[in-house]
Structure 1
Amino acid sequence: MKPKVGSPPDYTLDDDEIPWVLGTQLNEDAGPLGRVDGGKVLMVESHGFARRKPYHAQKLTLVFSAMRCFRDRLSDEGYDVVYRKGESFAEALGAFFDDYPDTTPVVMRSPSYGSADGLRDVAREAGGEVRVVENELFVSTREAFDSWADSTESDAFRHETFYRWMRRRSGVLMDGDEPEGGDWNYDDQNREYPPEGWGSPDEPSFEHGEIVDETADMVAEGFETWGKAVDASGFPWPVTREQALDALSVFVSERLGTFGSYQDAMVSDDWSVSHSLLGSSINLGLLHPVEVIEGIEETYREGDAPINSAEGAIRQILGWRDFMRHVYRHSMPELATANRLDAEHDLPELYWTGETDMECLRSTVEDVRERGYSHHIQRLMVLANFATLWGVVPEELNRWFHATYVDAYHWVTTPNVIEMGMYGSGVFATKPYVSSANYIDEMSDYCGSCPYHKTKDTGEDACPFNALYWDFLDRNEDELRSNHRMSLMYGHVDDKRGSGEMEDIHERVEELRRMEEDGVL
């Protein structure tokens, strides 16, 4: 399986070169591993890398288990896997070069910023050399995007522009030169809330073997982690290629049909709704994004899923995932610390503890603590929304997402959190994605069991989202008022100032900040 837009690099491995497979590239058909048939393969399990943040226990268990299962699969197929463990890549590579001084590992670059130079530097520090080749685990190549971006008269850093280019170039969900069904997206059909009594189809389940048990024990004993400890009998994430394919099959055959309509819905007792739950498998390389897209499109064309579901799911992978990759590599390193609204507050402790009376935040943080996952609307309109209104330094929220989600890596979280979630840079977002309690009430059942009143701006039981929303608009007026997409809301700001209500709102926000400091928000 190769990229669908652009041509993968053409190269071979010399006799003194072997594939080096990173922990997020567990794919036999891509990169250097896809260009050999047997022989030595290098894998490095770096424990020091996993100590940099209080990562979710399930995330570390997932990554290390998937690497070890991949190692065993390759060994069973006749490869001579040199599997090195160490506190650092340099330590593990040093031991490798001691044993194989005339061997050069060949590795696909990681999408994370500076990875190619970093890998070369680590290898030199360890006494050897490494050859870095292009990453083939995306739908589009770097070269294809850059060539198009340089030549297009449209704005390449607008997702809709990019997405339509990807559809045309790949032929996915196209009817000749026109989009399948006549429209490029079907978002107007994807904002429904499930009726009472509806339950999402069962999530995929897996019978994990000893490797997950042993790895979970290793993580528990050797690392400072966050989140619920791993119980292998209920571990919800694929760690092998076969399990990932099963998860894909479950999604397209049982969950895709209702994914579209309910993809934005937040249901307190249904953590997955009808989402694919494939992000971690794609980001580890267990699934190639192209095969996921093809499975979705085939299900639609066979009449087993509606167009709004197929298009919505494909847009997340063919469009958004690749778009994040290209935005990230073109916007780093500045994007990592971007803070265009001059936010200055620390991330509230409740993101780590989940201790808050705000039901939407409590429930969402509990979802993440439970399994290292919540779906994209919880991420954007609960977690990022609140942090933006609160005035959290974007880099702090980005670190939290990176540590706590099983599918999160720096190249994924940085454009999603800092730009899309917190309007931190302006590289592609056209407005802040913020709201009062109205949106959360419309798309969830959280407000019905929350002690705060969703319709009140001020007063001791008023929903914090409301006062924070108006306070956010007020303090960021110089940056936002000229934005035509915000003009209507600034009319309401003017009304609140004229009536004196804005003073009460500011007092309520100060009270909320004191409550957060005291741990009673």
Structure 2
Amino acid sequence: MRQPTVGDPPEYALGDDDVPWVLGTQLNERSGPLARAPAGSRVLMIEAHGFARRLPYHHHKLTLVFAAMRQFRDRLLETGYDVTYLQTETFGEGFEQFFADNPDATLVAMESPSHGSGERFADLVADAGGGLRLVENELFASTRAAFDEWADGRDAFRHEQFYRWMRRESGVLMADGEPVGGEWNYDDENRQVPPDDWEAPPVPEFDYDAVTAETAAWVSEAFDTWGSTEDFCWPVTRRQARDQLAHFVDRRLPEFGPYQDAMRADDWAMAHALLSPAVNLGLLHPLEVVEAVEAAYREREDVPLNSAEGVIRQVLGWREFVRHVYRHTMPALATANQLEADRDLPDLYWSGETDMHCLSETIDDVHARGYAHHIQRLMVLANFATLWGVEPAQLNEWFHATYVDAYHWVTTPNVVEMGQFGHGVFATKPYVSSANYVDRMSDYCGDCRYYKTKATGEGACPFNALYWDFLDRNEERLRRNHRMGLMYSHVDAKQESGEMAAIRERVADLRAMAAADEL
């Protein structure tokens, strides 16, 4: 059985009338009620379609979710479970059908990380005349109670403190109570740009069966989707997910660390793990990833510590952190907007039609596969939206719809807080930059029609003028931030020299260009 290792995992048993209900993001036989059910047990799965009509979701995202559910159903049937698999418009309709045939049953399900889902499900089950018992979600590395004890008395959360606590509590990459190698993280070693002749390790490929192909075709017909319908490349079965993990550890992990923050126009995957879709569906337990990476570091000379620690920090640290921060700050986090940004998300996020090479290439990556890596998300997509003044909830909705690994509990802390400094619960400053950062960490600027070194005048990179305009218009809120002192000394110089007036004029031109689809 797979359970969290930080905190006390839940202990419970299933009664004769208890039926495991497996949600579409909990596709794991070794955790939760399903792991405790005897062979041949009844199992409920509900493939509800209504949510897929609310947003123009990426075609690959819907294909991934529904194909993975159907594959998991078939796997359970093959191993002897008595599976009730209902395809309905809503969960309420599914519950009504199930309890009409099973009036004495009590559903037992792991809690979903999404805010308010437990209460909604409980109400729907009650309306259907049934019973529901929610238990701890074991598809994480830490329990809710453990985090709550750690967080007790804190007004704000800091990832680095949490991450060190998780390492100590789990023993991962630890030796005699100290971090292996003497340091907690190796960020300074993981900000390199690969040489021009560097070739990224190959991306794994999968052979898909008729179930997945039929699901992809059905998604095209049934829903108004966004994104490419071709070149689907994500694991939809447990075996494929394990193969992807093995491929990453064997082929990609050694080079992941140094280049994890780099961006190249012709390389969508670099050496990234590409495991988040499988982990967020439950096809892989996060501790499987952590254990495989740690074992590779300890057993192989070709896996450097900075690569292993970089992955573990993302899975054991960041993924756990945002899950807990989300539940502690919802529902306020979803609409948080401390900078009072009120502009609409530019249409170019959907069309990709812009002469800004970094944006067009990144959006093209998302359109093609429902994926772009974390620095593209933070320092291109979220950076531009923050500088532009986009309302955080609008950008959050876009990420939720377009990324294959996106769920509300994932995107809301990452986008609203980390990406747009919407709340202040853990971000200590806005993560914004001019063109300088994009140029330093990518090859985008070389083929762009905008000049990366210019802030004003025709052809000046929009990131530059927007950056200084952002600092200028948010001066009252940000100047007192001790991490922004140097930047505001530059703002002062631009205000005193009169350059800020030219910057404001350039920003006005950029907004007019965007309105005319000419940016």
Partner Cα separation in structure 1 for residue 115 and residue 155 of structure 2: 23
Contact 1:155–1:161 under 8 Å retained in 2? no
Q: Describe the SS at the equivalent of 1:130.
A: strand
8 Å CA contact 2:264–2:443 kept in 1: the answer is yes
Amino acid of the residue matched to residue 36 of structure 2? R
* Mapping for residues 499-510 of structure 1, pairs under 5 Å: 499-510=497-508
Counterpart of 1:50?
52
Residue aligning to 2:509: 511
What is the DSSP-based 3-state SS (H/G/I as helix, E as strand, rest coil) of the residue aligned with 1:441? helix
| 1:507 counterpart letter in structure 2 | E
Q: Which residue of the other structure, out of 484, 487, 490, is the alignment partner of 2:485?
A: 487
Give the corresponding residue for 1:252: 249
Matches within 5 A, 1:63-82: 63-82=65-84
Counterpart of 1:178, as a letter, is E
Q: CA deviation at 1:127?
A: 2.4
Indicate how the Cα distance of structure 1 residues 331 and 122 shifts in structure 2: closer, same or farther if over 3 A, else same: same
The answer for the alignment partner of 2:395 in structure 1 is 397
Aligned-partner Cα distance in 2 for 1:52–1:91: 18
Distance 2:488 2:415 in 1: 25
- 2:22 is aligned to 21
2:45 counterpart SS class: strand
Q: Distance in 1 between matches of 2:417 and 2:44?
A: 36
Alignment partners' CA distance in 2, 1:12 and 1:481:
56
> Which whole-Å CA distance do the structure 1 matches of 2:3 and 2:307 have between them?
25
Instruction: Look up the SS of the partner of 1:401 in the other structure.
Output: helix
List per-residue Cα deviations over 1:397-420 (Å, max 9, x = no partner). Answer: 000000000000000000000000
The residue number in structure 2 matching 1:293 is: 290
**Letter of the aligned partner of 1:146 in structure 2?**
D
Aligned counterpart in structure 2 of residue 323 of structure 1, from 315, 318, 321: 321
Distance 2:431 2:356 in 1: 19
Deviation at 1:389, TM superposition (A): 0.1
- Name 1:277's counterpart in structure 2: 274
Pairing 1:236–2:233 present: yes
**Aligned-residue CA RMSD (Å):** 0.9
Which residue identity is paired with 1:74?
L
Aligned to 2:140: 138
Q: Distance in 1 between matches of 2:495 and 2:386?
A: 22
Alignment-mate amino acid for residue 356 of structure 1: T
Aligned to 1:313, the other structure's residue is in SS state: helix
* TM-score, length-scaled by structure 1: 0.98
Map residues 18-167 of structure 1 onto 2, 5 A cutoff: 18-38=19-39, 39-150=41-152, 157-167=157-167
Aligned residues: 516
In the alignment, the residues of structure 2 paired with residue 475 and residue 192 of structure 1 have an alpha-carbon distance, to the nearest angstrom, of 33
Query: 1:37, CA displacement in angstroms?
Result: 2.2
- Equivalent residue, structure 1, for 2:9: 8
- Quote how far apart the aligned CAs of 1:156 are: 6.5
Instruction: Tell me which amino acid in the other structure corresponds to 2:516.
Output: D
Q: What secondary structure, in the 3-state scheme, does the structure 1 residue paired with 2:257 have?
A: helix
Distance 1:281 1:125 in 2: 33
Q: Does 1:225 align with 2:222?
A: no
d(CA) in 2 for partners of 1:4 and 1:237?
A: 28
Cα deviation code 1:363-421 (max 9, x no counterpart):
00000000000000000000000000000000000000000000000000000000000
Which amino acid is 1:510 matched to? A
Structure 2 residue aligned with 1:415: 413
In the TM superposition, what whole-angstrom CA distance separates every residue of 1:209-262 from its partner, at most 9, and x where no partner exists?
Answer: 001111011100010110001x4xx42100000000000001111100000000
CA contact (8 A) 2:32 2:138 kept: yes
CA contact (8 A) 1:156 1:162 kept: no
Asked if the contact 1:71/1:81 (under 8 Å) is kept, the reply is yes
2:356–2:449 CA contact under 8 A, matched in 1: yes
Aligned to 1:262, the other structure's residue is in SS state coil
Which residue matches 1:209?
209
Please tell me the residue identity of whatever aligns with 1:94.
Answer: E
Alpha carbons of 1:172 and 1:156: their partners in 2 closer, same or farther (altered >3 Å)?
A: farther
Maintained 8 Å contact 2:99/2:130: yes
Tell me which amino acid in the other structure corresponds to 2:330.
M
Give me the whole-angstrom Cα distance separating, in 1, the residues matched to 2:5 and 2:475.
44
Give me the whole-angstrom Cα distance separating, in 1, the residues matched to 2:155 and 2:38: 43
Letter in 2 for 1:237: W
- Identify the residue that residue 360 of structure 2 maps to in structure 1: 362
Following superposition, the deviation at residue 126 of structure 1 comes to 2.2
- Between the aligned partners of 2:350 and 2:164, the Cα distance in structure 1 is 39
Q: Distance in 2 between matches of 1:37 and 1:299?
A: 35
Given that 1:206 and 1:235 are in contact with CA atoms closer than 8 Å, whether structure 2 keeps it comes out as: no
Q: Distance in 2 between matches of 1:337 and 1:457?
A: 32
Counterpart code for 2:407:
Y
Whole-angstrom CA distance in 2 between matches of 1:270 and 1:382: 16
How big is the shift at 1:500?
0.7
The whole-number CA distance in structure 1 between the counterparts of 2:481 and 2:372 is 31
2:156/2:425 contact within 8 Å kept: no
3-state SS, counterpart of residue 284 of structure 2: coil
User: What is the CA deviation profile of residues 414-461 of structure 1, one whole-angstrom value per residue up to 9, with x for unaligned ones?
Assistant: 000000000000000000000000000000000000000000001110
- CA deviations 1:184-216 (Å, max 9, x no partner) are 000010000001111110011100000111101
Identity within the alignment, %:
66
Paired with 2:386 and 2:236, the residues of 1 have a C-alpha distance of: 34
CA distance in 2, matches of 1:348, 1:126: 43
Q: 1:261 to 1:155 in 2, by over 3 A?
A: farther
**Per-residue deviation, residues 85-104 of structure 1 (Å, max 9, x unmatched):** 10000011111111111111
Letter of the structure 2 residue corresponding to residue 199 of structure 1: E
The whole-number CA distance in structure 2 between the counterparts of 1:48 and 1:407 is 19
Give the CA deviation at 1:80: 0.6
Matches within 5 A, 1:324-473: 324-473=322-471
Q: Which runs of 5+ in 2 are unaligned?
A: none
Following superposition, the deviation at residue 125 of structure 1 comes to 2.1
Q: Which amino acid aligns with 2:264?
A: V
**How much does 1:487 deviate?**
0.5
CA distance in 1, matches of 2:368, 2:262: 19
Answer yes or no: is 1:262 the counterpart of 2:264. Answer: no
2-side partners of 1:148 and 1:407: how far apart?
28
